[in-house]
Amino acid sequence: MLNRRAFLKTGLTTGAAIPLTSTLNALAPASLLAGEVGAAIPGRSAVKLATLPARLPAIDLATEPWQQRIRRVAQSNMTEHDPAVMNVEEWADYWHSAQADIVFVSVTGILAFYPSKVKFHRHGKFLNGRDFFGECVAAAKKRGMRVVARMSPDLNWGDALEAHPEWFMRNRDGSPQTDADEPLLFKTCMFSSYMDDYVPAIMREVSALYDVDCFYTNGWPQIGALPDCHCAICSKLPAPSTVAYWHAYDDRVFELWQKYDAIAKEKKPDSFFFANLGGNVRGGPNLNRLGKIAAWFQADNQGRTNGDPAIWGCSLQGRVCNAIMDGKFATNVTAAYSTGGVVWRNASKSPEEARMWMCETSASGMVPYYHFVGSEAGLGEDRRWQKTGADYFRWTARHDAHLRTRRSIANIGVVFGQSTQLLYPGPGPAAARTRDTMHETTQGLYDALLQGRFAFDFVHEDRLDPERLGKYRALLLPNIAMLSDRQCRQIRDYVQSGGSIMASFETGLYDENLKQRSEFGLADLLGISKAGNVIGTVGNAYYARIERQHPILDGFANTNWIPGAQNRIPLKPVQSPVLTVVPGFVRYPPELAYPPVSHTDEPAVVLRESGPSRMAYFPGDIERTYWITGHGDLLRLLGNTIRWITHDEIIVDVQGEGLVEMFAWETAPGYAIHLLNYTNPNAHHGWMQSTYPLGPQTVRMKLPAGVKVKSVELLQAGHSVPFGLESELHFTIPRVEDYEVAAISVA
């Protein structure tokens, strides 16, 4: 992949397909292109195509819950000032013209957008008795759009605090916690009666007065991290950020979720409640448990942030939703406004960036959702966002059948340990630990999988049953530190049934209660034994010495060693190791930068085979180290190892140049191959400002017996392409702008 500086040096312009091979040749030394340094994953000349599974039986869409038929979600996030200036008909006309199926309309809980009689539901100062919410509901319904009643229970004002001090979150010193932006607003505690009394009162009032289709709470539950409250109630709970607290938090979330859902159904049995979610693999509530009761997964990943600078953040969220929702409704909020480290909440972001976020939503199996903050006619002073959203929505409306997914086509499962993501403190001394460890680990593996164009799914740690794992040739366990005995048994059963695994670092070293084991939970399966505690890097990180040739070392030449990871767990020796550890040594001064001990019997990787099963274990945090360094040797080693454990078997082969994320889906008409083009100087930073189109991408698939292809249509390009169908389906996508979907219709 080209970095930002390389793009700028080439002087490339947009609008034409980029000859990336010649560009790379101009930028890179001959030794890099010859493979002496592992700067790119090798080609896939020896891959074997696996046959796709038999197609699912047809379903009658008319019998599904109404939300399953929603294809476009819209929201103008209303402000206190909107009742004074907003033209409701113009607002409704815009979203209707964009072919939105459902709109969010603000009830709120901080400021009432209707003449509420619930105490402490403060009327906005521009409401002046107007039933603004009711007018918006009527305008949407007149145009055939459904309505979500949007509430916000996370904050309230000083008068509520004075009357009900028990409703609010407290700091350790007992003071109330205030909102970061508006200190006149105070944070409410989810364990208090505020959630049991105040929120239901608003729901019942709205339900009695208006024809809404469902209810939603913004700002609750907390996502990405657990609450830290020291009120009288929470002081009696387990300490924040502990396993016991997560369980208490989880129980309370589901208690309230089910209570609110029952209230939503009091008037309309097909109504429901759903809440603010997201957080990717970290989440907040237990995602396995949530997937069993949620009718709608509302992912609040509105755009890139300083903490998540990579462009694929929305796709990653989609993979999480696919892992836990079992085909039920999921959407991700795409913010048209300027997200990031510095926020302009009422100014548009670049169309290329907003569009890519929506493309990722569709590609990853979610339903697109577009969002802006209102004011001045409800459409904003900055109206540049409108065309981007309307154009994308209208395009999807022409292709709903192909964009609605039924089943992911992938032969690799990536286990995401939500408990590890939320609770594992990271390696090393307490003062140096950071929960960023797992974020970096996830991003490193994700990047490596994209670079290798692997078809993969996420698999929740609580969903390791044989019925779910049976579709995968291999499971990847990127430092899944917390595994219960039951989960370890499930992984052993998977391997005994013929599956393969790749694990790293502290995988299985802790149980589900974050209690450290004396030995790895999967030690017997992986053939490893712990020889000490975590060793970090001081000066030079350790190296991995090449002891013998092996497929995981394909492409490495003219070197006796390759870089290791930043941290590792020392292992006892194994027979015939492929790589051994050269311990870290002085980085500076250069006179001392040589290894005092240049050869050891400590393994830097452990490889095993048992029948068709292959197992690979890296004692270092290799995925994380790749992410924070970008070192090509680590990328090559990861890609080679994934190919080795899968026996070079893939289920969809997409060959071509560029950094591309690929999704493959079974659909009602046939299949859909989605290609997201991330080949861009802003793929890892900032916003996309332009598109750098790619040239030909060849696709190969081995269809189930008896399936006949009628056509292959490119939905963005707007035309069909020729295809071959001998032992396999193969066709070429001539050009990929930012996004292309190859829609395969079958008989």
pLDDT tens for 570-603 read 999 999 999 999 999 999 999 999 999 999 999 9
| pLDDT tens figures, 36-59 | 333 344 445 578 999 999 999 998
Q: Give the Cα separation of 170 and 576 in Å (integer).
A: 58
Question: Averaged over 626-644, what is the pLDDT?
Answer: 98
Judged by average pLDDT, the poorest of 37-41, 136-140, 427-431, 474-478 is 37-41
Pure H helices in 508-548: 523-526
DSSP state of 369: E
pLDDT at 21 over 50: no
Question: Averaged over 412-438, what is the pLDDT?
Answer: 87
Question: Averaged over 435-461, what is the pLDDT?
Answer: 96
What is the end-to-end Cα distance of the chain in Å, rounded?
38
Return the percentage of the chain with pLDDT > 90, whole number: 87
Q: Which domains does the chain have, with CATH numbers?
A: 1-64+653-747 (2.60.40), 65-398 (3.20.20.70), 410-650 (3.40.50.880)
Tokens of 350: 């670049």
Cβ atoms of 235 and 227 closer than 8 Å: no
| pLDDT tens figures, 478-488 | 999 999 999 99
Cβ atoms of 594 and 584 closer than 8 Å: no
Pairing of strands 474-477, 456-460: unpaired
Tokens of 503: 């694990």
Q: What is the pLDDT of residue 380?
A: 67
Q: Give the Cα separation of 654 and 646 in Å (integer).
A: 17
